[in-house]
Structure 1
Amino acid sequence: MNSVYSTEGGSSSTSRKVRVRLMGGLRERVGREIIEVEGGELGWSAVLRKAVEQVEGLKEAIDEEGRPKPGYLVFVDGVDYRLLPEDQEVEEEVIVLPVTHGGSKEVSGRRVELIHLTWRDIEHAVSDVADKIVRSGFEPEVIVGILRGGIVPALLLADALGVKNIGVVEIKLYTSVGVRKPRPFLRQPLVIEVKDKNVLIVDDVSDSGLTLQHAIEAVDLYLPAQVKTATLYIKPWTNLVPDYYSKSLDKWIVFPWERREVEEELRASGYNV
C-alpha cells in the first residue's frame, strides 16, 4: 500500500493512501479506474468526498455528502456501504459501480434503472428454491426469516415445503470502540426452539452476504443440528453464496412488497416515478 511520508518539526508522520475503484460504465464515462486518496483515518464517505474533489466526473455517482446516488452501489473493503456507519475507516479500497436494470427513470440528465419483479416472478423463484431443497435431501424443521426482506420468502417457502415452525431474526450492525470491522447483535432474537433441529435461514437476496453470514452466526448460538441458507436471488459480487437460490441478478431489484418504499425513496431523491 502506498504511503506519503512528511517531516515537520523533527517528527515524521505517515499519511495512508486508499483506493477508490470505478467499475463498469462509470469507469468508461469518467475515463479512469483508480483514484488514490490520502485516507488516513477517514470514514468511507469522507474518502468519497475527497475523490469527487479530485475527479469532478465522479459527481455523476456520488452526492455532496459522499454517499452513492440512486443507481449506484458502493462497497467498502468488500462490504455493502448500507451495513456500515459513515465514519467506518477504509482499510484498502472503496468500489463504486453502477447497477444495470431493465426499465428506467430519468431526471435532469440523471438516470436510475429498475427491475420490478412481479408476484409471478416470486412464485417461480420460490418453487425453484423449494425444488432444489427437496432434491438435496435437506429437511428443514424450522424456517427462520431475516427481517424485513426475508419474511415473505420465508412464509412462501414454509408453505411450499410444509414447514409449520417459523421464526424471525433481525440483525443490527455496530462498530465497537477501536474495532474497524462491523459486529452484529440480535435486535430481534429467536423466540422459537431450534436446538438440535434442522434450520433453514431465508432472505430475499444475498447482496454483500454480510447480513446472511451474521444471521448464521446468530442462529448457531441456539445450537441447531444443522443450518442451511436460502435466498430467492443473489448478486454476482456477493461474498456468501447461499446453499439454495434461484437466480443471480446484476440488477437493482424491486420486490412487489417494497414498491411503495422504493418509489418514496426515489421521489425524495428528485426522480419522477
Structure 2
Amino acid sequence: MTTARRVFEHHQIWRLTPDSLREATTLLVGAILRDHQSVEHVIGIANGGVAPARMIASTLGVKARMVHARHNTGDATYQQATGKVTLDLDPLTRALNGQRMKGRVLLVDDICGSGATLRRLRHDLTPLLSPSAELLTAVLCLNTGAATLPDYSIWTVSDWVVFPWEKPPADQNTTPLPRPEEALCHA
C-alpha cells in the first residue's frame, strides 16, 4: 500500500491556541454525543492526542487512557509521512488487565496527516475491544492529503500545525488557526 502524502502548501505554519483547543474539544464532544448516546472509553494517542483526550474524557465523565504511537521521525516541520507507525499498546493492555473494552471507544489524536496512525490503531486495537464495541476516531486537524479519514475533525489544513504542547519553530512565524465553528463528521 502506498503511503498518503501530507499536503504542505507552505503558506503559513498554523498554531493552535489553548482557547481554540478548549472550544474544539467542546465541539467534538457535542458532535459525538449528537450522533451517539454515550462514549464509554477515551484513548489519547501519545503524544499529541493526550491533552485533547483528557479534555474530552473529563467532559464525558470517563477516564482517559493512552497508547503510544509514533509516525514522524523527528520534530522538524514539514515532515512527510513514512508509512511506518510504531505502537506501544502494553500500558493499555496492562490497564485493561485481561478485560476487553465495551461500548463506544473514542480514539483521539491531534492531527490526521496521512491517516496511517489511525488505520494502524483501528486494526491493532481490535483484540482489546469486545465484539460489540464500536471504535470512533476524532482529531483536531485533518490534513487534506490523508487517505484514511477520522470520524470527526475540526480544522482541515494544508500546512504544518503547531500545537500548544509543542515548541514553535524559532525561525518561522506562526498564524493562529481560525476559531473553531463546528465539528465535521466524516463517517
The CA distance in 2 between the partners of 1:170 and 1:99, in whole Å, is: 29
Deviation of the 1:162 alpha carbon: 1.9
- Please state if 1:234 is matched with 2:142: yes
Alignment partner of 1:171: what SS? Answer: strand
TM-score by length of 1: 0.51
What is the deviation of 1:147?
0.8
Regions of 4+ moved over 6 Å: none
1:134 counterpart = 2:33: yes
1:192 and 2:98 matched: no
Larger gyration radius, structure 1 or structure 2: 1
Equivalent residue of 2:95, what SS?
Answer: coil
Work out the percentage of aligned pairs sharing the same amino acid. 28
Corresponding residue for residue 22 of structure 2: 123
Q: Distance in 1 between matches of 2:54 and 2:42?
A: 8
Spell out the pairing of 1:110-259 with structure 2 (5 A cutoff): 113-163=12-62, 165-172=63-70, 186-189=87-90, 190=92, 191-193=94-96, 194-224=100-130, 225-258=133-166
1:99 shift after superposition: 2.7
Give the structure with the higher percent strand. 1
Instruction: Provide the C-alpha distance between the structure 1 equivalents of 2:86 and 2:8, rounded to a whole number of angstroms.
Output: 31
User: Match for residue 185 of structure 2?
Assistant: none
8 Å CA contact 2:142–2:156 kept in 1: the answer is yes
What secondary structure sits across from 1:251 in the alignment?
A: coil
Q: In the alignment, what sits opposite 2:4?
A: 79
- Unpaired runs of 5+ residues, structure 1, are 1-75, 82-96, 102-112, 174-180
Please state how far the C-alpha of 1:171 moved relative to its aligned partner: 2.6
Gaps of 5+ in 2: 72-81, 174-187
1: distance between equivalents of 2:85 and 2:141? 23
1:103-140 deviation line (CA, Å, top 9, x unaligned):
xxxxxxxxxx3122211111121111111001002411
Per-residue CA deviation, residues 217-248 of structure 1 (Å, 9 max, x unaligned), is 12112123111111112111211211111221
Asked whether the 8 Å contact 1:171–1:214 carries over to 2, the reply is no
Asked which structure has the greater RCO (Cα within 8 Å, sep 6+), the reply is 2
The one-letter amino acid paired with 1:133 is I
Judged with a 3 Å threshold, the aligned counterparts in structure 2 of structure 1 residues 80 and 136 are, in CA distance, closer, same or farther, namely same
Counterpart Cα distance in 2 of 1:210 and 1:153: 20
CA distance in structure 1 between the aligned counterparts of 2:172 and 2:153, rounded to whole angstroms: 33
Partner SS, residue 77 of structure 1: coil
* Preserved contact between residue 172 and residue 187 of structure 1 (Cα < 8 Å): no
Q: CA deviation at 1:183?
A: 6.1
Report the count of equivalent residues. 156
Structure 1 residues 185 and 98: alpha-carbon distance in aligned structure 2, compared to 1, 3 A threshold: closer
